[in-house]
Amino acid sequence: MKTSEIAKIIGAEIPQDLDDLNIDGLKSPESANESDIVFLSNPKLRDSIESSRAKVVIVKKGTSISGKICLEVEDPYLGYAKVAQLFENTSSLFTDGISPYAIIDPDAVIDKSVSIGPGSVIGKDVHIGAGCKIGANCVIEKGTRIGSSCRIDSGAVIRWETSIGNNVIIQSGVVIGSDGFGNAREGSKYVRIPCFGNVVIEDGVEIGANTTIDRGNLEPTLIGKGVKIDNLVHIAHNVIVGEDTAIVAQVGISGSTVIGKRVILAGQAGCVGHIEIGDDAFVGAKAGISKSVPVRGKVTGYPARDFMTMRRIEAAQSSLPDLLKEVKRLKDEILKLKRLDT
């Protein structure tokens, strides 16, 4: 790929009077060759860029590096993300077409361009759109609908009547459409509540390894367009996740919680059920969310409180040893004054 093509994609201009080089890949500064491209988003790494063999580097606007062709952009990390996609290996991991060792129900409707790895099982009345790549030992149960250009990695389980949009990535070990945790009490025993809803995954969603998304009780569990979900996340029944929200590893979301658009849920945060988290909210790592969070709210801590309040509390905690010493000193002085009075 030519430098000029990459520059156009990331919105940069090639400096005048310089060669339009062939670029073979994107690598770290330490391992890059002359035909690779690198990026500089952290000024602390400038020395490694300067000593790299790479000739082309993505930099922030206004940055120049001697001896390098600098592609200047507003956000080098975003430029890196776009270039990385250009060099991603998207070929089938096992075979083009359907492996002879896959089990396909005769009533399944599968586009001719789909690849399916060995050991995968495709159920009755499943529809799979063009350009999908399904790994080995996947299970896709009856009535499931999958759009075009989806990637379902080995070992994923997609349960009955799940609806998946276009350009969705589902990594290994994901389980979509498992029963929600619904039980009623009868004396000291539990009575199971079956789930009649399904899971709806909209376009452009990415779901990390070993994440589980439960089907709804009566209505669907909904994951909106562009949502990015990390590994080891649990999303319970009837949860709604708004568009372009990011959910980081080990987050747990209880049933019937509504997450707004463009929300960030940091690692190991946990939400009780039946609350709402407003659009553009931020939830810090390990936060325990016991009540609704307003639009653009920022909370952290356990239990979760306003972000800046928690930062002041944490700052004060670091001063506690000195405060205790001061309290002890003042207490001793008070005792001495009392003795003098007597």
- Looking at 3.30.10.20, 2.160.10.10, 3.10.290.10, 1.10.10.10, the CATH number of the domain 103-308 comes to 2.160.10.10
| Residue range 313-335, pLDDT digits in tens | 777 788 888 888 888 989 988 88
> Which residues are registered as beta bridge partners of 58?
39, 71
Query: Per this entry, what is the length of the chain?
Result: 342
The span from the CA of 208 to the CA of 229, in Å, is: 6
Q: Which of 127, 234, 237, 274 is the catalytic position?
A: 237
Q: What angle do CA 15, 82, 32 make, to 5 degrees?
A: 65
15: which DSSP letter?
A: P
Give the tens place of pLDDT for each residue, 118-150. Answer: 999 999 999 999 999 999 999 999 999 999 999
**3-86 with 103-308: one CATH topology?**
no
Nearest to 55 by CA among 77, 26, 85, 35: 35
Please give the CATH topology (third level) of the domain spanning 3-86: 3.40.1390
127 is a catalytic site residue: no
Between CA 293 and CA 275 the distance in angstroms is 8
Average pLDDT value over all residues in the chain: 93
pLDDT tens profile 253-296: 999 999 999 999 999 999 999 999 999 999 999 999 999 999 99
Cα 96 from Cα 131, distance rounded (Å): 11
CA nearest neighbour of 180 among 165, 209, 159: 159
pTM attached to this predicted model: 0.85
CA distance 158 to 125: 14
Distance separating alpha carbons of residues 28 and 51, to the nearest angstrom:
12
| Degrees to nearest 5, angle at CA 244 with 217 and 128 | 60
Characterize 310-329 residue by residue with b for buried, 16 or more Cβ atoms within 10 angstroms of its Cβ, and e for exposed.
beeeeeeeeeeeeeeeeeee
Q: Which two tokens stand for residue 95?
A: 């075979």
Contacts of 185 (CB under 8 A, 6+ apart): 191
- Per residue in 234-252, pLDDT (tens digit) is 999 999 999 999 999 999 9
Inform me whether the pLDDT recorded for 97 exceeds 70.
yes
* Segments making up each domain of the chain, as ranges: 3-86, 103-308, 312-342
When pLDDT is cut at 50, 70 and 90, the band that residue 43 belongs to is confident
Q: What is the rounded CA–CA span in Å between residue 134 and residue 109?
A: 14
pLDDT for res 35: 93
* Model pLDDT, residue 315: 78
